[in-house]
Structure 1
Amino acid sequence: MLIRNNDKRLSSVINNVGFSGVVLVKREDILLQLAEGYADRANEIPNNPGTRFGIASGCKVFTAVAICQLVEKGFLSFETRLKDILEDVFPFFDETITIHHLLTHSSGVPDYFDESVMDDFEELWKERPMYLLNHLRDFLPMFQNKQMKFKPGEKFHYNNAGFILLGLIIEKMTGLSFQDYIQSHIFETCGMKDSGYFRFDYLPENTAIGYIDNEEDGTWRTNIYSLPVRGGSDGGAYVTAQDMILFWEALCTGKLMSEEYTEKLMTPHVQADENEYYGYGLWISKKNEVIFRYHLMGYDPGVSFHSACYPESGIVLAVTSNISNGPFTLMEEIERDFKV
């Protein structure tokens, strides 16, 4: 653990939320690093700075980077229509849906899990066992025959199915599985040697097990039956906190794509809330009309994740966790502590 002597308030927050995970804050050098809780409760194996964690939707940005790379190479454009790439039948989908709409959650396509009206991700797997979802195409029957929610471009509405479609587009354009493309064109480029889309039933060493706590009686269970067996283009990668810092550094220094397309990714394309915007695969926060934070977040049963880049201060942070809450509270405390 590397933690400054004046961080008693942060330690208090960690204890209050019962944090289990890793925190890493960097600006040229490491400013703060700590690991708390157990990666494996049954065997009392503690989390450590190199522990891998699931990050749920926090990895939508990898999908967005992949799309931007393909646009830069001329395989498609942000205005390319969904109907002109995928040959699957979407009987009720609007024919004007574009790549841009999918990237910005403004397509209006029906979702297989609509977070605005559903709050229990586990309910999905009662009728469709999670161990059958081995490939992106396995998700299509869950939404491809449903009606549109609104006209493309009409508004922002967070949508997981849209990113499944983006993953299928990546596979169609490259001839690679989505996971293999991200591994070779993003993880390896960034030096993210410990990250990957690992199967639940074949996790590598030093990977945290996700835990779901029952606050009523203090019992817990793992999230092994709560998520798809393998992550894909809408979420589910495993990373270390250090690897997420490497991702931000690679993104901001042009290792992944040119400055033009990096700027496209990090542009506030749609407004999600009063001071919250969405770029391509990432959230953008403003203060007094000025961007102060680019950030990623992910929540699943037994998973909670936040990572951010602060352009003015040059600080980047990653907070990974194998329980369902805690990182957002810690991120807010770190922002106060470092006055970002």
Structure 2
Amino acid sequence: MKMNMMNKNVTAVIEKIDFSGTVLIKSTDDQLQQFSHGYANRTHHVLNDGHTRFGIASGCKIFTAVAICQLVENGRLSFESKLMDVLDMPFPHFDPSVSIHHLLTHTAGIPDYFDEEAMDDFEELWVKHPMYRMRNGYDFLPLFQYEPMKQAVGERFHYNNAAYILLGLVVEKISNRRFEEYIAEFVFSKAGMQHSGYFALDALPDNTALGYIEKEDGSWKSNVYSVPVKGGADGGAFITAGDMHRFWNALAGFELLSEPFTRKLLTPYIHTDEDYDRFYGYGVYIDVLDGTITKYHVMGYDPGVSFHSAYYPDRQLITVVCSNKSDGAFAVFKEIELSK
């Protein structure tokens, strides 16, 4: 384990839960706290370190949102554009009023391929649709394309992975590029994220952590048969902690979008929690206290993956917690916030 100036309470949580991953805390004055713990590959005893790439599951929805905002900024799309007008494919039961804005804010009301309000076992999805065939957005369409609407358009926030699958197809249609190619050129490259990408599990590059699922008896298995073989617009990118820090800096510095469109992405559009002042923008959670935005936050969970990252605008502070286990990131992230 490698540590640098890490709070004792955070260290205690790391040890207690046997955290596996990398944590990075950095402010604009270059005060740095970083550590890595556990194994990127348990079989070969390869340790996690600051260069390890981690899967971040839904944490990369913000990359998709940035891509959509770039296309709108360039005049090739509108937030008010209707899904039916952009994608020439059948959605027979979808409300024709579903717009790009609704998809971005999880308010479209469309069916999801994995409904987190009704399902709890992600692996069940791959019984009829083998995970090794899920390599692009089109492969997911049969899981929800012909299903009925879940709720009325704009009725409420309902977290929806299918919405971001569709947004990825919109990016492909408008840009005439594969989704991962567009993100690589116009998000990762512009932000200096040299080590990030959408990598297939059967062709992972070096310095990439395998995801691990621990069983009740203490044994474990990798997640290679538990998640889609290749990630896309709704989740599944691989990043380093340093690259995620670069992303936040590039976003806040208006290097990915102009200031007006960055503000649009970071606007709190919809309340997500009745008991807490948390809102959703475009691909990002936004915490508000007494009318002031205190935190922009992304997170991701898959079998063998847990991830949290936040940008605190008042202190210009960035926190990144990447883990290649199914849980652990939240506990560490929470303790970091309590310790600040």
Q: So what's the TM-score if we normalise by structure 1?
A: 0.97
On the 8 A contact 2:3/2:36 being kept in 1, the answer is no
**What does the per-residue CA deviation read over 1:91-122, in whole Å, with 9 as the maximum and x for residues that have no partner?**
00000000000000000010000011111111
Alignment of 1:10-89 (within 5 A): 10-28=10-28, 29-89=30-90
Query: Are 2:224 and 1:211 aligned?
Result: no
Name the residue aligned to 2:136: 135
On the 8 A contact 1:106/1:155 being kept in 2, the answer is yes
Structure 1 residue matching 2:62: 3-state secondary structure: helix
Structure 2 residue matching 1:35: 3-state secondary structure: strand
Deviates more, 1:131-140 or 1:173-182: 131-140
User: 1:30 offset after TM fit, Å?
Assistant: 4.0
Aligned pair partner of 1:318 in 320, 326, 331: 320
User: 1:135 offset after TM fit, Å?
Assistant: 1.7
Alignment of 1:105-124 (within 5 A): 105-124=106-125
Instruction: Pick closer, same or farther for the CA change 1:178–1:157 going to 2, 3 Å.
Output: same
Count of residues in correspondence between the two structures = 336
Query: Are 2:339 and 1:337 aligned?
Result: yes
Query: Are 2:326 and 1:327 aligned?
Result: no
Aligned pair partner of 2:293 in 291, 294, 305: 291
On the 8 A contact 1:22/1:33 being kept in 2, the answer is yes
Alpha-carbon distance in 2 for matches of 1:19, 1:30: 23
User: 1:18 offset after TM fit, Å?
Assistant: 1.3
Alpha-carbon distance in 2 for matches of 1:139, 1:147: 16
Structure 2 residue matching 1:284: 3-state secondary structure: strand
Alpha-carbon distance in 2 for matches of 1:135, 1:291: 35
Consecutive unaligned residues of structure 2, counting only runs of 5 or more, are none
Name the residue aligned to 1:237: 237
Query: Are 2:257 and 1:262 aligned?
Result: no
Name the residue aligned to 2:223: 223
User: 1:336 offset after TM fit, Å?
Assistant: 2.0
Paired amino acid for 2:156: K
User: 1:2 offset after TM fit, Å?
Assistant: 4.0
Paired amino acid for 1:246: R
Paired amino acid for 2:12: S
Structure 1 residue matching 2:190: 3-state secondary structure: helix
On the 8 A contact 1:104/1:270 being kept in 2, the answer is yes
> What is the root-mean-square deviation in Å for CA atoms of aligned residues?
0.9
Alpha-carbon distance in 2 for matches of 1:280, 1:34: 30
Name the residue aligned to 2:304: 302
Aligned pair partner of 1:277 in 276, 279, 289: 279
Alpha-carbon distance in 2 for matches of 1:299, 1:150: 24
Paired amino acid for 1:127: K
**What does the per-residue CA deviation read over 1:130-164, in whole Å, with 9 as the maximum and x for residues that have no partner?**
11112211110110000001111111000000000
Name the residue aligned to 2:95: 94
Structure 2 residue matching 1:296: 3-state secondary structure: strand
User: 1:327 offset after TM fit, Å?
Assistant: 1.2
Alpha-carbon distance in 1 for matches of 2:290, 2:262: 23
Structure 2 residue matching 1:84: 3-state secondary structure: helix
User: 1:3 offset after TM fit, Å?
Assistant: 2.3
Consecutive unaligned residues of structure 1, counting only runs of 5 or more, are none
On the 8 A contact 1:308/1:316 being kept in 2, the answer is yes
Alpha-carbon distance in 2 for matches of 1:158, 1:299: 13
Deviates more, 1:201-210 or 1:321-330: 321-330
On the 8 A contact 2:41/2:209 being kept in 1, the answer is yes
Alpha-carbon distance in 2 for matches of 1:196, 1:169: 19
Deviates more, 1:51-60 or 1:280-289: 280-289
Structure 2 residue matching 1:67: 3-state secondary structure: helix
User: 1:259 offset after TM fit, Å?
Assistant: 0.4
On the 8 A contact 2:41/2:47 being kept in 1, the answer is yes
Paired amino acid for 2:279: Y
On the 8 A contact 2:310/2:320 being kept in 1, the answer is yes
On the 8 A contact 1:24/1:30 being kept in 2, the answer is no
On the 8 A contact 2:268/2:281 being kept in 1, the answer is yes
**What does the per-residue CA deviation read over 1:70-91, in whole Å, with 9 as the maximum and x for residues that have no partner?**
0000001100000101011000
On the 8 A contact 1:282/1:295 being kept in 2, the answer is yes
Q: So what's the TM-score if we normalise by structure 2?
A: 0.97
Paired amino acid for 1:23: V
Alpha-carbon distance in 2 for matches of 1:52, 1:271: 32
Alpha-carbon distance in 1 for matches of 2:288, 2:254: 23
User: 1:289 offset after TM fit, Å?
Assistant: 3.1
Structure 2 residue matching 1:187: 3-state secondary structure: helix
